[in-house]
Amino acid sequence: MRAPDADLPIILSGITIKAGRVTILDRVTQVIAAGAPTVLIGPNGAGKTTLLRVIMGLAQPDAGSVTWGSHNDASQVRRAIVFQRPVMLRRQANSNLAYALNAAGVPRSQHPQRIAELLALVGLADRGARPARKLSGGEQQRLALARALARDPAVLLLDEPTASLDPAATKSIEDIIRAVARRGVKVILSTHDLGQARRIGGDVMLMHRGGIIEHEPTDAFFTQPKTEQARKFIAGELLV
Ligand SMILES: Nc1ncnc2c1ncn2[C@@H]1O[C@H](COP(=O)(O)OP(=O)(O)OP(=O)(O)O)[C@@H](O)[C@H]1O
């Protein structure tokens, strides 16, 4: 993993996505800087997953653009995404990582060492030989993180990484996110867990109906929300 100096900031300029007559992302213009994780929050259907897909290059905006640090070509940026329900190959945990290392062009001779490092990083050092699909939900989510990290990403996108996990499993994922962020990887994650946003966010973006309502450092967002919508959302009131 490396410090993503050349890859950041990510500049979103007027990103708009429509599906028929419905606007899913509405002129999103934001700067996502290096540093602690950026946390995307907002009600169901606000557009969080779609925005992560745009940043990953999996969805093309109908209007607007994404630029990355000093790159002219976004394909030069090493990005990885972990979806809410990751799908593992029907093989050992080790083999799932070997597959990802192979896809990332890592020579086979380096696989054993890299697999051991990745498993240790996510606390699965003793699970390598287990069938991936037999691991618990929390373990599978950690393996999915390891698989994403096999690409040595500068930017790691996580879509509700702890959505169906209990507090202990959530804590272990958050510990991994912190460790990865400390190594210089820019993490951008979506969550419905406001406590998680407070615990790991360097800055918070509140989305609603395809737009960004507020984007502030975490402390300022929670203590001095600027908009009525943010105040309501923090207070647990319904944003409809
Ligand atoms: N391919 C598509 N075609 C039509 N509508 C779509 C498409 N993808 C997403 N949408 C709609 O766009 C809106 C935003 O969806 P998105 O999944 O990005 O929201 P979200 O904030 O991640 O929601 P959640 O918190 O429920 O996961 C939703 O109303 C969704 O139904």
pLDDT tens digits along 52-70: 999 999 999 999 999 998 8
Q: So what's the pLDDT on residue 114?
A: 98
Pocket test for ligand 1, best of 17, 24, 54, 209 (most atoms within 8 A of CB): 24
Averaged pLDDT of the chain: 94
Predicted pLDDT at 4 = 52
Ligand 1 neighbours by CB, cut-off 6 Å: 19, 24, 42, 44-50
What is the dotted CATH code of the domain comprising 1-78+155-239?
A: 3.40.50.300
pLDDT, tens digit, for every residue of 89-98? 999 999 999 9
Mean pLDDT of 147-173: 95
Task: Inform me whether the pLDDT recorded for 3 exceeds 50.
Answer: no
In the numeric block, the tokens 């003793």 are attached to 126
Q: Where in the chain is the domain with CATH 3.40.50.300?
A: 1-78+155-239
Which of ligand 1's atoms lies nearest the C-alpha of 207?
21
